[in-house]
């Protein structure tokens, strides 16, 4: 006959040590709590990193868009006010054949047009069918303002000496909160444009 596991061996009883059910449950609860904390920290850091990357991309897009607009506005020798959402600038030697470039905002929804909710430019006047080049995407509010040389609201193309563009860009994520950037540009002086 085989001896049982709890049999006496050399006169001493061998005792097996093990965890009790209560100890296992307490260890499992503590382990689950630590794992939940580590996982939530990881998700928080990931979301923060993604949001920061979106914000940096949006800022770069806004900065480059305003830089492009400011170059043409400062070199413009004439302006045509198409309304609060569009201006056409005459920029000598930059946009052949007629030296015109139009900066505008497309208020359509993005699904309705490829430039929907975008600040863009195109060569030619407002009726031009040239390709639109997007400068800033995902814009909510947008307005151009024009001023005369005495910082009053300009009432005509001939009296306009400064332009200002104001807009709110928004970067959205599926699981993240929106990142917004309000860009109020400094006024751009039309240096080459004579005024009355």
* DSSP string across 32-100: HHHHHHHHHHHHHHHHHHHHHHHHHHHHHHHHHHHHHHHHHHHH-SEEEEEETTEEEEE-TTTSTTTTE
- Alpha-carbon distances, residue 8 vs 1, 3, 17 (angstroms): 14, 9, 16
Question: Are the CB atoms for 101 and 120 separated by under 8 Å?
Answer: no
Distance CA 109, CA 117 (A): 6
Which residue is associated with the tokens 């193309």? 157
- Alpha-carbon distances, residue 153 vs 67, 71, 136 (angstroms): 23, 22, 26
- The answer on pLDDT for 143 being more than 80 is yes
Question: Are the CB atoms for 55 and 181 separated by under 8 Å?
Answer: yes
Question: pLDDT digits over 113-136, tens only?
Answer: 788 899 999 999 999 999 999 999
Question: Are the CB atoms for 73 and 190 separated by under 8 Å?
Answer: yes
pLDDT at residue 196, as a whole number = 65
Question: pLDDT digits over 44-87, tens only?
Answer: 888 888 878 877 888 888 889 999 999 999 999 999 999 999 99
The pTM (predicted TM-score) of the whole model is 0.74
Question: Are the CB atoms for 72 and 92 separated by under 8 Å?
Answer: no
Question: Which has the higher per-residue pLDDT, 153 or 46?
Answer: 153
Q: How far apart are the first and last CA of the chain?
A: 120
Domain coordinates in residue numbering, the chain: 30-189
Mean pLDDT score across all residues of the chain? 85
């Amino acid at each position: 006959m085989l001896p049982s596991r709890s049999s006496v061996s050399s006169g001493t009883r061998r005792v097996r040590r093990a965890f009790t059910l209560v100890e296992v449950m307490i260890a499992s609860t503590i382990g689950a709590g630590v794992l939940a904390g580590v996982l939530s920290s990881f998700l928080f850091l990931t979301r923060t990193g993604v949001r920061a990357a979106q914000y940096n991309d949006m800022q770069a897009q806004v900065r480059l868009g305003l830089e492009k607009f400011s170059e043409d506005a400062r070199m413009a020798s004439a302006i045509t006010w198409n309304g609060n959402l569009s201006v056409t600038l005459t920029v000598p030697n930059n946009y052949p054949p007629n030296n015109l470039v139009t900066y505008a905002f497309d208020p359509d929804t993005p699904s309705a047009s490829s430039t929907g909710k975008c600040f863009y430019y195109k060569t030619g006047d407002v009726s031009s069918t040239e390709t639109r080049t997007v400068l800033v995407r995902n814009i909510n509010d947008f307005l151009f303002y024009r001023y005369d040389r005495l910082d009053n609201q300009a009432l005509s193309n001939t009296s306009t000496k400064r332009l200002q563009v104001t807009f709110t860009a928004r970067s959205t994520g599926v699981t993240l909160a929106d990142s917004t950037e309000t860009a109020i540009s400094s006024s751009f002086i039309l240096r080459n444009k004579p005024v009355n």
